[in-house]
Structures are given as C-alpha cells and as structure tokens.
A and B are shown apart, each in its own frame.
Chain A
Amino acid sequence: MNENFLSRHRQLLIVWALLLTVPFWLPMLGGYTALAGRVVVFALAAMSFNLLLGFTGIMSFGHAAYFGLGAYGCGLFMKFVTASTLLGVLAGTLVGGIAGTLFGLLLVRRRGVYFAMVTIAFGQVCFYIAYKWDEFTGGYDGLRGFARAPIDFGIFKLDIAASNNAFYYFVVAIFGLAVGLQALILKSPFGRTMLAIRENERRARFLGIPIEKHIWLAFSISCFFTALAGSLYALLNNFADPLGLNYIMSGNIVMITVMGGMRTFWGPLVGAVLFVALQDYVSSMTTNWMFFVGLTFVAVVLFFPRGLMGMLQKRAGT
C-alpha cells in the first residue's frame, strides 16, 4: 500500500521535494531565490495556459494579456486602493480573469489559426492601453510605487517584504493551491469533457456537449489562473512591466509550455525551469539574446516537439 502510493505519486513527490527545498540547494548551484520565484510564477502561467493548449486543444497566443492585466491589476490596486498584498493578488486575478471571460465570448466560435490571431490582437489591445495611458499605468516605464507588504495571519506574521525566502514560500503556497485546483478540475467531469473536445471536437458535439460553452469556460478558468500568476509576478518585482503584456510574453508562455511538454501536467513547470535558466544564461553571455532564444524556439519545434517531459514519458512507455 505504502509502496504503491510512492510509485503512483512519484512525480508529485519529486516536484514538491525540489520546490520546497529550493532555498537550500539553489545558492549552491549559483542561483538566487528570486530566480526560483520567477520559475514558479512562469510555471503557474504556463500550466494555466496549458489547460487550454494541452488539455482542451485550443490555441491562444495572447495569454500575456491576462498575465499582464493580473500584474497591473494587482499593482494599481495596491498603489491606489490599499497596500494589502492578499487583496492586491485577488484584485489582479479578478481583473485579468474577468477580461479573459469577456474576450472569451468573442472568441469561442473561432478555431485554429483564426482563434490564435484574434487572441494575439486582444493581447495587443491591452498592451497598447498600458503603454499609452501614461498617467495611470506609467506607460513605457511601467508601473511602480507599490511594494509587497508583510502578511499578518494573526498567530504569526509572514514578512514577505524583507525576506526573499518567505516570499518564495508564499508564492509556492499559492502555486500549490492553484495547481491542486487545476488537477481537480482536470479530474472532474468538466475536465474530461475538455479532453474530449481536444481529441475529437465533432464527436463531442454529436454527443450533445455544448462545445462553445465549454471552451468559453475553459478559457475563462485559464485566464483567472494566468492572471493570478501575473499578480504574483508584480509582487515578485514590485513592478508591472508593459512588456509583460506584449505578444512576445505570450510567445514565451507558449514556448515554456511546449518546451516542457504540453501533453503532461508538470511539463510547463519543467519548461519554466529550462526557459528561465536559458534566459538568465544567454542574456548574461551576449547582447544578441534574441538570436539564441529564436534559435531555441526553432530547434524545439523541429527536433523536440514533445518537450522534455513528453520525451521522458515516451521513453518510460507510459
């Protein structure tokens, strides 16, 4: 029984053992804890995105919009309303999620490249608003003037402002809740329906499943989670960047997902590790980072389309 539990949940145990011990081993590898925070935030964004790409078979290329709206929503709320971290995260999640839900209404009947193009265009709308609305959003320079504040739980106080490790564990805790919820959604009848739509939309439609409604719901859920990741990103940097809304960011989210393995649950987390490591390394080595990042994209598409996790799973024969 015990052994069975171990083997069945091996992936889960490895992931959490590594995530929870980051502050102990990452400095030994020459990293710093904030880097791990970035990995976890990007992983959450990419896993949320993967609910659509990997599990519903729907291709959004504009998830930066909801990520960025989450960041701006959180930042603006903390700057202008109240400096509470948790309420800021909630506000950011709602802003991005509701925007995604509304955009989703216009999207659900599109498919394939057309769906992707419309999502890109919506993403750019948000980018231009953040970019142009200087006095409110800080325009090109991004939004500053807010900072994460310690969280008072009554019995103890979590000082996420001063301690990077405390903030990292705060992010990991939210990550855990979010992906746990995602796993539950995927296990639910609704999640099974998402898979059915991915596998054969026409057949699912013949079974009487209201496809448009399900895609809309899946899109909306994905956007709420992505916006949550965006809020955490704003807290991580104490800064919201208009480039976080740009389609290049959308491309990065897609890349993280594909690089890790879009048909696997933990793939995007693995992809986030690879992506952040690559980004950090390449931008410290050369100013021509675009060339190398682009080359990686091309190489992954041509030679490793299953992503790292996909390849490992295929080798293991599962």
Chain B
Amino acid sequence: MELVLFNLANGLIVGAFYVLMALGLSLIINLSNVVNFAHGNFLAIGGYLAFTLTPYIGFWGALLVSPLLTAVFGYFIEQVLIRHVYARNHIYSLLLTFGLGFILQDVCRFIWGPSPLPLGIPDILSLPITEELFFITWYRVFMVAVVIVAVSGLFAFLRFTRVGMRIRAGTLDLDTVSALGVNVAALRSYNFAVGSFLAGLAGVLAAGQIGLNPNMGDDLIMPSFIAIIVGGVGSLTGTLLGGLLIGVAAALTTVFYPAGAEAVIYVIMAIVLLIRPRGLLGEEGMLT
C-alpha cells in the first residue's frame, strides 16, 4: 500500500511537470501552429539560469527571476527566428525548432559544461514531511504547490486579462481577431513568452529535484507531446488532464511492472487515438 501511495505521489509530481511543459507547448501550438521542439531546451536554460543566479539572489529569488528571463529569451527567439515561418508549411517550423534545440543544447554544454550540476535548495525543503512519509520531502510538496499556483495563474491570466482573452480568441479564430484590429504578430510573441516562462519555471523546479544537465529537457518533451495528444489539441484543460493522467499512469505502472512505465503512456495515447481521435477534451474539427 505504501508503495502504491509513494508512486501515486510520485506520479502526481511527474505529472505536474508534464503539465507545465505541455501547457507551454500547447499555448504555442494553439495560437501559432508551431510545435516547439526546443521547449525542452528552454526548460534546461531556465534551470541553468537559476543555477547561475542562486549565489546572488538565493533559491527563492532565482525561482522568480529565472522563468522571467527564460520568457524574455523566448520572446527574443520568437522575434528573431520563429515568426519568419508562421506563414510557411509546418515542416519548416518543426525543422527550425529542431535545429534550435540542437544549438541551445550545445550552448548550455559550452557555457555550463557537459557534466551534471546540482541546484542548491533551501534546507527546509529537503526535509521529509513526517517520519512515516519519509519518502515525500517538502520539496516535492512545494513543487506541486508551485505548479498549482502557476497553472491557476495561467488560467486566470487567460480568462481575466485583455491579452489572455485575445490569446483565447485567437486560438479559435485568428483571422477574426486580426480583423478586429488586434496586433496578431505581437500577440503571438507574448504568447510565446508565456509558454517559455512555463518551461523556465519547470526547469528551475526540475533542477532542484534531479539536478542539471544539458539534455535534461529531452526526457520531458515526448511525454508533453503525448499529454497534448491525449488531452486534445486546442484544449488547455485537456492538456492539464492529459499530463496528470499519463504521469500517474506511468508511476502506478512502476509498482506492478517497472519495465512498462514508459510504454504505458504510449499505450494510453494509442487507445485514445483509437476510440476518441480528437483527444479527451479536444473539440471536433480543431486543428485536425
């Protein structure tokens, strides 16, 4: 039972990561039709920036500042590279972000070195929450709390701010939004920055748990794709659900059949595609 509980908790945490990554990806796909292959590298950059900043402003400061810097970096990348391919065949945006991922990974390796680095977290967070639940440190609870805050913040941003509402409207019908006088190019840039912010935040959190290495994002990007496919393209709530679902499913599979932990998320995807091709909460006809 304890093992199941442990893995359930673990699954929620892993799922929370997938959610952060996948929500950022999903935002960008919805509004710009770009699958950002380099999203995992944005995550790594967020983590490494936190590593560099921690000695000066501490972990808490880095937790705030590093995602913001990642967002600025994402904004810059969108301006310089990605916006040039919006009007072209999708294959170009895939290739572009694919190549960008290679570049960023080598840049991280060049600046911070190829060997893994630890990110120091405050002592209070590394303690277990109780004697019996020794396997759950405060850091894990903290991660989940941060993810909850970030996701709620994102949904509030999309619902209550002007830019957020425009992003949601643009997801449904970009032409009309543009015809109503909204600067769509700028909107896409802001949106990309928001997606990058989430990746950066995931990077800081991941760095505190598993440390840093130049390809730390690679293992997270594929589950994020699957979270989006399972949840349904076009639906952020779907992505949220998909991320948690595959995180928990993978963790629970570990209890009974450890070798199948990675396979199970693909099985879930295949089942969803078979019986509900548009994804759990995807709308009929969206982006298909």
A-side residues, CB < 8 A to B, are 53, 59, 61, 106, 109-114, 116-118, 120-122, 124-125, 128-129, 132, 247, 251, 254-255, 258, 262, 288, 290-291, 293-298, 300-302, 305
Cβ contacts under 8 Å, B50 to chain A = none
B-side residues, CB < 8 A to A, are 29, 33-35, 81, 84-85, 88-92, 94-96, 98-107, 109-110, 222, 225-226, 228-229, 233, 259, 262-263, 266, 269-270, 273-274, 277, 287-288
The secondary-structure label for the interface of chain A is helix
Cβ contacts under 8 Å, B90 to chain A = 59, 112-113, 116
- Could you list 6 examples of A-B contacts with CB < 8 Å? A114-B229, A117-B228, A128-B266, A298-B100, A302-B85, A305-B92
Flag if B259 contacts A118 (CB, 8 Å): no
Flag if A305 contacts B88 (CB, 8 Å): yes
Flag if B95 contacts A300 (CB, 8 Å): yes
Flag if A124 contacts B266 (CB, 8 Å): yes
Interface centre among A109, A116, A290 (most CB of B within 10 A): A290
Flag if A118 contacts B229 (CB, 8 Å): yes
With known contacts A59-B94, A120-B225, A109–B288 Cβ distance under 8 A = yes
Cβ contacts under 8 Å, A129 to chain B = 263
Cβ contacts under 8 Å, A110 to chain B = 277, 288
Interface centre among B33, B94, B266, B288 (most CB of A within 10 A): B94
Flag if B101 contacts A53 (CB, 8 Å): no
With known contacts A109-B277, A114-B287, A124-B222, A132–B99 Cβ distance under 8 A = no
Nearest A residue to B266, CB-CB: A125
Q: How far is the CA of A190 from the CA of B276 in the complex (A)?
A: 30
Q: How far is the CB of B192 from chain A (nearest CB, A)?
A: 15
Flag if B273 contacts A59 (CB, 8 Å): no
- A-B pairs, top 5 by smallest CB distance, nearest first, are A297-B99, A294-B102, A291-B106, A294-B103, A294-B99
With known contacts A106-B270, A106-B274, A301-B85, A251–B95 Cβ distance under 8 A = yes
Cβ contacts under 8 Å, A124 to chain B = 222, 266
Q: How far is the CA of A317 from the CA of B36 in the complex (A)?
A: 35
Nearest A residue to B88, CB-CB: A305
Flag if B33 contacts A112 (CB, 8 Å): yes
Nearest A residue to B260, CB-CB: A132
With known contacts A125-B266, A301-B85, A294–B101 Cβ distance under 8 A = yes
Flag if A53 contacts B91 (CB, 8 Å): yes
Cβ contacts under 8 Å, B266 to chain A = 121-122, 124-125, 128
Cβ contacts under 8 Å, A251 to chain B = 95, 98
Flag if A254 contacts B95 (CB, 8 Å): yes
Flag if A132 contacts B33 (CB, 8 Å): no
One of B84, B103, B228, B263 near A295 (C-beta < 8 A): B103
Flag if B288 contacts A111 (CB, 8 Å): yes
With known contacts A117-B228, A293-B102, A255–B288 Cβ distance under 8 A = no
Q: How far is the CA of A111 from the CA of B107 in the complex (A)?
A: 34
One of A112, A132, A298 near B96 (C-beta < 8 A): A298
Flag if B85 contacts A118 (CB, 8 Å): no
Flag if A121 contacts B288 (CB, 8 Å): no
Q: How far is the CA of A129 from the CA of B102 in the complex (A)?
A: 24
Q: How far is the CA of A302 from the CA of B93 in the complex (A)?
A: 10
Cβ contacts under 8 Å, B85 to chain A = 301-302
Flag if A298 contacts B29 (CB, 8 Å): no
Flag if B287 contacts A301 (CB, 8 Å): no
Flag if A121 contacts B263 (CB, 8 Å): no
Nearest B residue to A134, CB-CB: B259
Q: How far is the CB of B83 from chain A (nearest CB, A)?
A: 11
Flag if A298 contacts B99 (CB, 8 Å): yes
Flag if B35 contacts A113 (CB, 8 Å): yes
Q: How far is the CB of A221 from chain B (nearest CB, A)?
A: 19
Cβ contacts under 8 Å, B104 to chain A = 294
Flag if A294 contacts B35 (CB, 8 Å): no
Flag if B96 contacts A302 (CB, 8 Å): yes
With known contacts A116-B94, A117-B225, A298-B99, A290–B35 Cβ distance under 8 A = no
Q: How far is the CB of B92 from chain A (nearest CB, A)?
A: 5
